[in-house]
Amino acid sequence: MDYDTVIIGAGPGGSMTAKTAAELGLDVLLVEKRPEIGMPVRCGEGTGIKGLKELGIPKNKKYIAWETKGEYIYSPDGKRLEIVEDEPNGYVLERRMFDKYLALYAAKAGADIRTRTYAMGIKRENGFLRIKLKHFNEVYEVSCKIVVGADGIEGTVGKWTGLENRTKLSQMTSNVQYEMVGLKLENPEVMEFYLGRKIAPGGYAWVFPKGEDIANVGLGIRPTGKDTAFEYLNRFISSHDYLKKGKKVGMVVGGVPVQGPITKSVTDNVLLVGDAARHVDPLTGGGMYNAMVCGRIAAKVIREAVDTQNFSEEFLMKYENEWREKVGAGLMRSLKVKEVLEKLSDEQMNQIGKFLRGMKIGKLDIKEVSTSLLKLPPEFIKFVESLL
């Protein structure tokens, strides 16, 4: 047997799985099809400080571009709700460096890493697996006990092993973002969110600061109409003076599946982690933290499976049960709020904005950027429901 586990995809989910599994003493191989881990970036790069701390990820200037203290959330009428704390609660990362460092931490813990190595298929053999890999023109196989599909939205491990992880068009957001410089940011310490059907139908526009005058300016839509996310973003930028004059120095394109987690994430010898299991938050589109948390759980269950030599679906369900316990309720709550929000007209959103501004929630203890919207008081949900 070449490895206890082969992990496909060196995004945050895969690298965290590899790091934890190696720390637990397993023989680990992490493969990534890209020549350079972390490139190209497919992310707005915003995340919560608390989450990274919980995961034991060091505060390293190499991949933390900026700290933020809260959010401005704009309703369609342009009025905003300010949720700002005294102390920083969020990071805007340099994802290309973050992903690379996570892989580096995994390697330091003992995992083998092969980049420019493309997983082409999986064969079952006597209760184990053979993974077919391609490195430049060389095609070869490695054997392992468990494979982890941390292969993101384009992932094929699910397809090969009968785990359904495709997303409905109506549940996929289509996103484009520019990294921009030379912006006159009113408050470079907050992340800005813009809601509205005309701005970003089924999604939102964001301005995540990465410096005094640098920010990720992006937008996601539910792509059921005629215009692309690209066209919406260009219109959004040209309608805001403080963005219009900025210079675009980079571009990010990607999809975020907001359907909620997949119904089944394990089968014999196989686990799916991160975007491949749709662990991403359906309301905010934040997926890094969940991918890493679930990756950590996956590694622990793989350790137990190797110890007991039990690689059956039945045993691996432990992973599914544990991740559902950890993030499942949050994901389902987000899904619910998202389903309510997407039914609202711009006028109704304006009313909600007004209601919330009246509640003065500015001092609420909101620590996690990716979960902050969910921590709104229960009256909020009731109020929204009364509008429908």
Partner 1 sequence: MEVEEYCCYCGTCSNVCPEKAIELSDNEKVEIDNNACIKCGICVKACPVGAIYGL
Asked if 70 touches ligand FAD (CB under 6 A), the answer is no
**Element holding 316 (H helix, E strand):** helix 313-323
Which residue bears the tokens 């990820």?
A: 57
Half-sphere exposure of 56 (CA within 13 A, CB side): 8
169 vs 388, beta carbon nearer partner 1: 169
Total residues at the site for partner 1 (CB under 8 A)? 31
Q: Report residue 212 as tokens.
A: 């005094």
Q: Using CB under 8 A, which of 107, 109, 120, 359 touches partner 1?
A: 120
Q: Using CB under 8 A, which of 43, 172, 183, 237 touches partner 1?
A: 172
Asked if 382 touches partner 1 (CB under 8 A), the answer is no
224 vs 312, beta carbon nearer partner 1: 224
Cα 114 from Cα 1, distance rounded (Å): 18
Asked if 239 touches partner 1 (CB under 8 A), the answer is no
Which residue bears the tokens 């982890």?
A: 148
Half-sphere exposure of 101 (CA within 13 A, CB side): 14
370 vs 372, beta carbon nearer ligand FAD: 370
34 vs 324, beta carbon nearer partner 1: 34
Cα 162 from Cα 335, distance rounded (Å): 25
Report CA torsion sign: 369, 286, 278, 380. Answer: positive
Query: Do the Cβ atoms of 256 and 175 come closer than 8 Å?
Result: yes
Q: Using CB under 6 A, which of 7, 22, 24, 31 touches ligand FAD?
A: 31
Task: Compose the 228-267 pattern: x for residues touching ligand FAD by CB under 6 A, - for all others.
Answer: ------------------------x-xxx-----------
User: Alpha-carbon Rg of the chain, whole angstroms?
Assistant: 21
- What is the number of other CB atoms lying within 10 angstroms of the CB of residue 238? 10
Query: Do the Cβ atoms of 145 and 5 come closer than 8 Å?
Result: yes
Interface stretch with ligand FAD, choices 37-45, 140-148, 193-201, 263-271 (CB under 6 A): 37-45
Interface ranges with partner 1 (CB under 8 A)? 33-34, 40, 42, 118, 120, 134, 152-154, 156, 159, 165-169, 172, 174-176, 223-224, 228-230, 251, 253-255, 257
Interface ranges with ligand FAD (CB under 6 A)? 8-14, 31-34, 42-47, 118-119, 150-152, 154-156, 175, 177, 218, 252, 254-256, 274-276, 280, 285-289, 291, 370
